[in-house]
Structure 1
């Protein structure tokens, strides 16, 4: 099935390379965007670490109570004293690590990525990906449109 209006078969203005911007700049911004995506993925892993460590501490508390109930009071008290609620890194629980990452490294990374985009391409995002999409999609074919259809124009598949 073809696109109803071929003039609409291209990227929106926010995903077009500004005049005068060369391939090397687009490639560099694409690599910077890729690096930021890895930072975001690492952040997700850090949150997973935070959640898993918290779950482990709560389970550890349950285990201590069960050991105590089973009559292993001295062992339970040792584990409780040394492990329950313990910092995972000197002076920090995992939420503090997440906050430091978010407010420090991630915030600086996002700021510099934004500065680069603002200075070089007027703040436009994902230009390398938009150009890749234009190269890889089948122009004029349904499900290969450059952008979402307008509301109310969806045709039968």
Structure 2
């Protein structure tokens, strides 16, 4: 299976009986989870940016008051400051719901599929792609950090 004597470590080698189709399917499942991880990161960005904007509103309210615009300071404070971003929810509640309803079940499903279908071995698709694309004997194309240096 290994094209090079310094091939992937055992946790990145396809277990016996696991087909190429299974490796490809698990790779797609993992890629979808990685995309979900990125989406979740954007959700945290949304959370932090919205929270930062809400905190900046304190400054805006104070500056409006100092500038003699009590009516506008009151409006911003009463209508926008601390406002829900969607009905009944601040951003932290959206994250909690997302994690509980979508992210955690998806993450558990991907782990279970890897465990059942590939003995828990992750990134087999990528490991096989790396092995196929390496240049034999090139020092920057080794399979692992502990691979022997080659000339």
TM-score by length of 1: 0.89
Alignment-derived partner of residue 88 in structure 2? 91
Task: Write the distance in 1 (CA, Å) between the matches of 2:149 and 2:93.
Answer: 48
Change (3 A) 1:46 1:92: same
Report the equivalent of 1:58.
55
Deviation at 1:154, TM superposition (A): 7.4
Give the TM-score normalised by the residue count of structure 2.
0.92
- Pick one of 127, 138, 142 that aligns with 1:141: 138
SS at match of 2:77: helix
What is aligned with 1:3?
none
Find out whether 1:21 has 2:15 as its counterpart: no
Of residues 73, 95, 98, the one that matches 1:76 is 73
3-state secondary structure, aligned to 1:138: coil
Deviation at 1:139, TM superposition (A): 2.2
Among 33, 36, 53, the alignment partner of 2:33 is 36
Aligned pair count reads 148
Unaligned runs of 5+ in 2: none
Mapped to 1, the partners of 2:65 and 2:149 lie a distance apart of: 64
- Runs of 4+ in structure 1 deviating by more than 6 angstroms, as ranges, are none
Equivalents in 1 of 2:81, 2:113: separation in Å?
45
Name the CA distance, whole Å, in 1 between partners of 2:56 and 2:37.
29
